[in-house]
Amino acid sequence: MLNALVAFLNYVFVPAMAYGSQLALGALGLTLVFGILRFSNFAHGDTMAFGTMCVIGVTWLFQSWGISFGPLPTALLALPFGIVLTAAFVLATDRMVYRFYRVKKAKSIILVIVSTGVMFITNGLTRIIIGPEERNFLDGERFVITAGQFKALTGLTEGLAIKSTVAISVVVAALCVAALFWFLQRTREGKSMRAYSDNEDLALLSGINPERVVMVTWIIAAALATIAGTLYGLDKSFRPFIYFQLLLPIAASAVVGGLGSPLGAIVGGFIVAFSEVFVTYAWKKVVGYLVVLDLEPTTLLQLLSTDYKFAVSFTILIIVLLFRPTGIFKGK
Amino acid sequence: MAEPFLIGESMTGGYGAVDILHDCTIAVDKGQIAVIVGPNGAGKSTAMKAVFGMLNLRGGRVVLDGEDITKLTPQARVRKGMGFVPQTSNIFTSMTVEENLEMGAFIREDDIKHTMAQVYDLFPILKQKRFQAAGELSGGQRQQVAVGRALMTQPKVLMLDEPTAGVSPIVMDELFDRIIEVARTGISILMVEQNARQALDIADKGYVLVQGANRFTDTGQALLADPEVRRSFLGG
């Protein structure tokens, strides 16, 4: 029984928590841009890739200088520099591309298509600069607790391993979310963003400067994208194409929670992550501990092969759009 | 007679190619209440928006306290001391009452606590509900939030586009009382109203617009007493 619980925690809960944190951060960036600039930013996945690439670059630089962060990955030290570079890149994109359409008051569908263009450009840039192949940039301690240590500690046959990247993902995501909510709820700048998102015309009448709101939004979105991308890259590995694909579960997360709602993005991230892991995990082991020996399942008890994990996001997306298009937290 | 505090003089213009306003003049004196009434489609709201700079004028000018502001954007007019309460979407529904007031005072750099206390004195119910989302309030309370938000810039002129639209007669009377109180503090009020009779009753000056032009202009009481105005616009 305890073994079943530990196996469940080890193979389902812990990985889903880490993945959920990463998705939540990605979805937060997407939902903020939607709330303020009023379009779904298709380039968000590739902004994550670009940000992660910047972090990897700075990490390599630090490593070549012999700088490390002790037991923690050097990438965490490089993160602030990656954020600055990505924010600069995103602001430049806004100045060169999006602002042109904003001034013309283009419809949001046009902006969506424009962002698709930006997506391809960003994607291409990333591949040119760092190359399309897989990169591993994790260093420092690998585990907070290994399966062997856990077994020795508890005497169970099933081990629970917690990778340091999982712990880092959850902690960093929690810190980011707390900081973001504090910013949105308590600061003048954050309140003006919420006001602009709520009622653009009235915000203008109140003297809120739209260009400033847009700029702050891009910077925050770039920061969130870089952090989400780096956490994902540390936990798994970095490949530009994977990040492009990540856009789907991230978009699903934002839509499930309600587009434009930050709280919804977080809840949505975990819903999508848990659903994905639940249906693609082979439950044989967990069930095996729960039933008497001769009833042990002969198949893997896996609902879907992991190759189909994107089908989960798609299904969730379609179900939500059909039955509750505004999402859980009443987005737009 | 001295020039009024705010005047939109001989305004001609519209949203597109077709003019809605034809040589229309609207003015309000310091601390007084001016009311624009008229049948549907007479251009009442349009006249108000023209004074606030929300449409391009082909002719005429807008003068505030002796300064020609015809070319200024609405935002710049807010800084000059004009407050505007739109007819619809006039509050931030997802934000609390207090945050609505804070956003109203966004352009101010000084301490806003005193003004906020004044708004709460004027609308005590808002103080009770200050941490509640404005979108959860009743229609009358939302209008109070909207007026309160506009007062936060400490405007010299407050412009209200149908402040009593969609509220009950009792709430309407109360809103009018509050508006009179605001005027007594020296703020000029310019408002568009559907409830012509009640609005003219509290008006120092009334404008009856028909097809974008001035038809009758007089004190509120005189218009109420005018048999032609009564027959045509007040239902006898």
Residue A71 domain-assigned?
yes
Kindly tell me if the per-residue pLDDT of B17 is higher than 90: no
- Contact between A205 and B74 using a beta-carbon 8 Å cutoff: yes
Distance between A13 CA and the closest CA of chain B, angstroms: 34
DSSP A197-222: HH-HHHHHHTT--HHHHHHHHHHHHH
Please give the residue of chain A at the shortest CA–CA distance from B53.
Answer: A205
State pLDDT tens for residues B126-177: 999 999 999 999 999 999 999 999 999 999 999 999 999 888 899 999 999 9
Whole domain around residue A174: which residue ranges? 2-244
Q: Say whether residue B102 is in contact with chain A using an 8 A CB cutoff.
A: yes
Kindly tell me if the per-residue pLDDT of B1 is higher than 60: no
Residue A231 domain-assigned?
yes
Residue A273 domain-assigned?
no
Give the pTM.
0.90
Residue B132 domain-assigned?
yes
Smallest CA-to-CA distance from B50 within B195, B207, B198, B201 is with B207
b/e for A156-186, b at 16 or more Cβ within 10 A?
Answer: eebbbbbbbbbbbbbebbeebbeebeeebee
Q: Say whether residue B99 is in contact with chain A using an 8 A CB cutoff.
A: yes
* Contacts with B76 from chain A: Cβ below 8 Å: none
Whole domain around residue B114: which residue ranges? 89-153
Kindly tell me if the per-residue pLDDT of B204 is higher than 70: yes
Residue A291 domain-assigned?
no
Which pLDDT belongs to residue A300?
A: 76
Asked if A47 and A228 count as a contact pair (C-beta separation under 8 A), the reply is no
Which pLDDT belongs to residue A1?
A: 78
User: Which one has a higher pLDDT value, A70 or A272?
Assistant: A272
Residue B119 domain-assigned?
yes
User: Which one has a higher pLDDT value, A284 or A249?
Assistant: A249
* pLDDT confidence bin for A173, thresholds 50/70/90: very high
In the stretch 170-209 of chain A, residues with CB closer than 8 A to chain B read 188, 191-192, 194-195, 197-199, 201-208
CA distance A321 to B58: 47
CA distance A23 to A272: 8
B39 by DSSP, 3-state: which?
Answer: coil
User: Which one has a higher pLDDT value, A273 or A304?
Assistant: A273
Mean residue pLDDT of chain A comes to 91
- Contact between B75 and A205 using a beta-carbon 8 Å cutoff: yes
What ipTM does the predicted assembly reach? Answer: 0.88
Which pLDDT belongs to residue A183?
A: 96
Which pLDDT belongs to residue A70?
A: 85
Which whole number is the average pLDDT over A113-120?
A: 96
Smallest CA-to-CA distance from A223 within A160, A278, A176, A282 is with A176
Residue A278 domain-assigned?
no
Which pLDDT belongs to residue A169?
A: 95
Which pLDDT belongs to residue B142?
A: 95
Which pLDDT belongs to residue B50?
A: 93
Name the residue with tokens 């490949």: A239
Residue A294 domain-assigned?
no
Residue A306 domain-assigned?
no
- Contact between A194 and B104 using a beta-carbon 8 Å cutoff: no
Residue B56 domain-assigned?
no
Residue B136 domain-assigned?
yes
Which pLDDT belongs to residue A294?
A: 66
Is B113 exposed, middle or buried, given 0-12, 13-18 or 19+ CB atoms closer than 10 A?
A: exposed
Look up the CATH number of the domain holding residue A8.
1.10.3470
Which pLDDT belongs to residue B2?
A: 65
* pLDDT confidence bin for B40, thresholds 50/70/90: confident
A158 by DSSP, 3-state: which?
Answer: coil
Q: How many domains does chain A have?
A: 1
Residue A312 domain-assigned?
no
Which whole number is the average pLDDT over A51-75?
A: 93
CA distance A262 to A74: 29
CA distance B151 to B161: 15
Is B92 exposed, middle or buried, given 0-12, 13-18 or 19+ CB atoms closer than 10 A?
A: buried
Q: Which among B89, B99, B107 has CB closest to A199? A: B89
Q: How many domains does chain B have?
A: 1
Phi first, then psi, for residue B213 (nearest 5°) are -130, 155
Which pLDDT belongs to residue A165?
A: 93
Please give the residue of chain A at the shortest CA–CA distance from B88.
Answer: A202
